[in-house]
Structure 1
Amino acid sequence: MSRIGKLPINVPTTVDVTNNDSILKVKGKFGSLERTIPEIIGVEQTDGKLIVSLKNETRANRALHGLYRTLINNMLIGVSEQFLITLILQGVGYRASVQGKTLVLNLGFSHPVNIDMPDGITVEVVQNTTINIKACDKEQLGLFAAKVRSWRPPEPYKGKGILYKGEQILRKAGKSGKK
């Protein structure tokens, strides 16, 4: 049995959970999410807790047990608190701004980079070089942050690029001159 999968999930009082026909729907103050649950996994709700169980024990099913318990937990946290990723632009002239539903980045190219924001994701720019991205779906949030970061990943020689908050770049020495 999965050690993570057998842990109960606490359901916040502000969140509504409905489970019918292998579709789990979670609704909270920041939005609503739904996920299809495989037939081999059972989800039951008892007095403020969700318990994820397996219907038959095989090696692959045990792996899914822990995975789906974590996915359901992330759904509950997302609709009640939201997830946040902070990106930092490092480089001369690197800037960000939000125009409607578009994130506009100046990253040293001859043109600005326009990235459309998906539904459910909010972007806030602080001090032109710090981007706060919030969403209730952790998977979509990570994908959007990776898409933004892919325009200028950090490089090891000067340390320029788009970094996650708290990320350390291992710096390399440049070319050494003739001796």
Structure 2
Amino acid sequence: MSRIGRKPINIPAGVEVKVDGSVVSVKGPKGTLTQKFDPNMSIAIEGAELTVSRPNDAKENRALHGLTRTLIANMVTGVTEGFKKELDILGVGYRVQKQGTNLVMNIGYSHQVIVEETDEVKIEVPGPNKIIIVGIDKQKVGQFAAEVREKRPPEPYKGKGIRYANEVVRRKEGKAGKGK
């Protein structure tokens, strides 16, 4: 049986969870998230804990068990603490700034690259070489961070570009490093 799927989810004070069939709504201090899950998974609230169980050990149900539990746990974490992704910009002359709700990036192109923040995802720029993407939905925060990184991914020779704060970029040797 799934070790992750069996773990109960603690519902902290100030968080309201509603289960309506296969639709789960989580309301907390930072906002509300709603998601529809597979109807085979039975989701039950017992006091201040939420448990997910599966009907049988079919391969599909085993796969969905841990997934459903993790997605609900991420919803609870999102409405209480939120999620954030940090991006670093490396390169001579590369910098970012925030103008209103827009992220304006000078990243080596002949034009500025402008990315607009959405209702679910907010952008913070603490410095000219750092971007912090904040939101309550883990998937939307990660997707938005990936789209910003895609504007100038780190290149392997000099390491210039936009990278995640904890990302390690494998560096290559240039053609001058070739053996003689």
Same fold (TM over 0.5): yes
1:140 maps to 2:140: yes
1:87-126 alignment runs, 5 A limit: 87-126=87-126
For residues 44 and 61 of structure 1, what CA distance do their matches in structure 2 show? 17
3-state SS, counterpart of residue 172 of structure 2:
coil
1:97-127 per-residue CA deviation (whole Å, 9 max, x = no partner) reads 1222221111110111111212111111011
CA RMSD of aligned residues (A): 1.3
Aligned residues: 179
1:22 maps to 2:22: yes
- The alpha carbon displacement at 1:63 in A equals 0.4
Between the aligned residues of both structures, percent identity stands at 47
Residue identity matched to 1:76: V
Task: Determine if contact 2:85/2:133 at 8 Å carries over to the other structure.
Answer: yes
3-state SS, counterpart of residue 4 of structure 2:
coil
1:154 corresponds in structure 2 to: 154
1:49 corresponds in structure 2 to: 49
Residue identity matched to 2:172: K
Task: Determine if contact 2:154/2:160 at 8 Å carries over to the other structure.
Answer: yes
Q: TM-score, normalised by structure 2?
A: 0.95
Instruction: Go from structure 1 to structure 2 and tell me whether the alpha carbon gap of 1:38 and 1:173 turns closer, same or farther (over 3 Å shift).
Output: same
- The alpha carbon displacement at 1:178 in A equals 8.7
- The alpha carbon displacement at 1:20 in A equals 0.9
Task: Determine if contact 1:10/1:48 at 8 Å carries over to the other structure.
Answer: yes
Q: TM-score, normalised by structure 1?
A: 0.95
